[in-house]
Amino acid sequence: MRLLRIAAAAELSTLLVLLANLLTVHAKAITTLCGPLHGVSYVAVIAATSLASSTAPNGALWRAFIPGIGGLLAQRALGVRRG
Amino acid sequence: MLLEHVLLSVHVLGSIVFVGGSAVATSLFPRYAPAAGGEGRSRDVAVALHRITGGYAAFGLIVPLVGMVMAGVQGRMGEIWIIVSMALTAAAALLLATQIYPRQRQALADPGDGDPARLRRLSMLAGFYNLTWAIVVVLMIARPGSGAGA
């Protein structure tokens, strides 16, 4: 599930960039760029998890709602179920 | 200038093809989904509509991404019509991902014993989904709160 992998990486990395920016230089350009990107990747993680968990619902979708690391947790939950 | 034209073309084309495709598929799914006593219903058509709903919506992700790049390039990120549109887009995506798509899957996996309430609910959710996009399009055209006077 490539979409989930990309979205999960984007979700975490944009959040880290936002927090680092908040703690250091407060550059407005970084906030206006990464804020919406983080929002989109958060929603994309939830959507991708919903598309990926094709059989009986498991905990993956609810893990996807967790901010920041939800994508990674969902990937893990889906991977565990497969393997 | 050329870059903005390319971005706008991708944005509009993506919204017509991908968002439009998934919107049509969500609307038509309850009409074809397997149910008791339905005439002209077809499981194969419903499966295809289900796949269009999910697949086209996933490709539709390009539309908000390009839109945000455009808003950033033009320095419009803080304008109210863009913020409201982004919120509505997120709401539509969550509605599709957490309600419509899983309910379609359920309707296909377990056709039930003619439970029309389930398909009616899917029709209603598809209506909300399409209404959200209609509002977003109106916002994109009217641009309330636009600094450049539309």
Rounded to 5 degrees, φ, ψ at B56 are -65, -35
Categorize the per-residue pLDDT at B137 as very low, low, confident or very high, splitting at 50, 70 and 90: very high
Q: Which residue has the tokens 């994109």?
A: B140
Integer Cα distance of A30 and A25 in angstroms: 10
Residue A83 is predicted with a pLDDT of 41
Question: Chain A within 8 Å of B58 (Cβ-Cβ)?
Answer: yes
Q: Which of A40, A50, A57 sits opposite B97 (nearest CB)?
A: A50
Residue B150 is predicted with a pLDDT of 45
Residue B133 is predicted with a pLDDT of 96
Q: What is the ipTM of this complex?
A: 0.72
Question: Chain B within 8 Å of A37 (Cβ-Cβ)?
Answer: yes
Categorize the per-residue pLDDT at B51 as very low, low, confident or very high, splitting at 50, 70 and 90: very high
pTM > 0.95: yes or no:
no
Alpha helices in chain B (DSSP H): 2-14, 20-32, 43-59, 62-73, 80-95, 101-109, 116-142
Categorize the per-residue pLDDT at A16 as very low, low, confident or very high, splitting at 50, 70 and 90: very high
Amino acid identity, position B136: V
Chain B from 64 to 83: CB within 8 A of any A CB:
64-65, 68, 72, 77-78
Categorize the per-residue pLDDT at A9 as very low, low, confident or very high, splitting at 50, 70 and 90: very high
Structural domain spans, chain A: 2-78
Q: Which residue has the tokens 């598929």?
A: B25
Q: What is the 3-state secondary structure (H, E, C) of chain A?
A: CHHHHHHHHHHHHHHHHHHHHHHCCCCHHHHHHHHHHHHHHHHHHHHHHHHHCCCCCCCHHHHHCCCCCHHHHHHHHHHHHHC
With CA atoms as reference, report the closest residue to B98 among A4, A45, A21. Answer: A45
Q: Which of B72, B94, B101 sits opposite A51 (nearest CB)?
A: B101
Residue B110 is predicted with a pLDDT of 79
pLDDT, tens digit, 9 for 90 and up, residues B83-115: 999 999 999 999 998 899 989 988 888 776 656
Q: Could A39 and B86 be called an inter-chain contact, meaning their C-beta atoms sit closer than 8 Å?
A: yes
Question: Chain B within 8 Å of A32 (Cβ-Cβ)?
Answer: yes
